[in-house]
Amino acid sequence: MTDARTEVLSRVGAALGRPGSGTTPAGKVGAAPRDVVVPRGYRAAGEHVAGSPEVLEQLVDRLVDYKAHVQQVAEADLPATVARLVRGLSAGRAVVVAPHGIDPGWLAGLGDEVAVREDSPASPLPATELDAVDAVLTAARVACSETGTIVLDGQPDQGRRAISLVPDVHVCVVRTAQVVQTVPEAVRLLGAHPERPLTWISGPSATSDIELDRVEGVHGPRTLHVLLVG
């Protein structure tokens, strides 16, 4: 009698065509033959193109349902919108952390009322300092409308994973052209650089206990602001 783990791994091996696994013929166990075709019966793409009104409407609907704050912003209004959000987070001088590769124009409206702390792999801010800032501002790599998920992949305008997980507020800029409909579309795009660290964000950080009491900010930002630009 096999345990559950062995059974699951056996079925995975069978699905990948590994000999000696599951229902495949017994023999030498090794890598799947190159001519084995793995069935992929799922949808590879949605019926709506990236950045279309239908896709954007669906993303906004999902994000709002997850209790994220969403604004559709024109490119020219982005600096002022960022400034308004960040200034309202502190009674005194607000502090925002930004990755080293972010578009400096996004910070142009902050002025002297907001202190900007830059974070980079070469000069990372410690977790204690990240925990003390009022917000983090990042870009994004891709967003999936069907799941309401935004993905960061560690590029210079998105920064280290820590900066989007430790601060209490995350302001994330997503361009409309980056919004696809389905998960396979997003994964295919992310698969071009499998070495990059990924952070998948579906609304503010939240969890609940057995009685379904929702608690926010347990393992990430308590508040998520999404600025859709385009």
Confidence at residue 149, expressed as pLDDT on a 0 to 100 scale: 97
Segments making up each domain of the chain, as ranges: 1-39, 53-229
Per-residue pLDDT tens for 163-189? 999 999 999 999 999 999 999 999 999
Phi, psi torsion values for 116, nearest 5 degrees: -105, 125
Confidence at residue 24, expressed as pLDDT on a 0 to 100 scale: 44
Question: Quick one: pLDDT band at residue 88, thresholds 50, 70, 90?
Answer: confident
Confidence at residue 14, expressed as pLDDT on a 0 to 100 scale: 77
Confidence at residue 25, expressed as pLDDT on a 0 to 100 scale: 47
Q: Name the more confident of 44 and 101.
A: 101
The span from the CA of 88 to the CA of 92, in Å, is 9
Pairing of strands 199-201, 135-138: unpaired
Q: Does the pLDDT at position 36 exceed 50? A: yes
Question: Quick one: pLDDT band at residue 117, thresholds 50, 70, 90?
Answer: very high
Q: Does the pLDDT at position 218 exceed 90? A: no
Write the burial class of residue 71 (CB in 10 Å: 0-12 exposed, 13-18 middle, 19+ buried): middle
Confidence at residue 29, expressed as pLDDT on a 0 to 100 scale: 46
Q: Please name the CATH architecture into which domain 53-229 falls.
A: 3-Layer(aba) Sandwich (3.40)
Question: Quick one: pLDDT band at residue 160, thresholds 50, 70, 90?
Answer: very high
Per-residue pLDDT tens for 45-83? 899 999 999 999 999 999 999 999 999 999 999 999 999
**Total residue length of the chain:** 230
Confidence at residue 17, expressed as pLDDT on a 0 to 100 scale: 65
The span from the CA of 106 to the CA of 80, in Å, is 8
Average pLDDT over the chain reads: 88
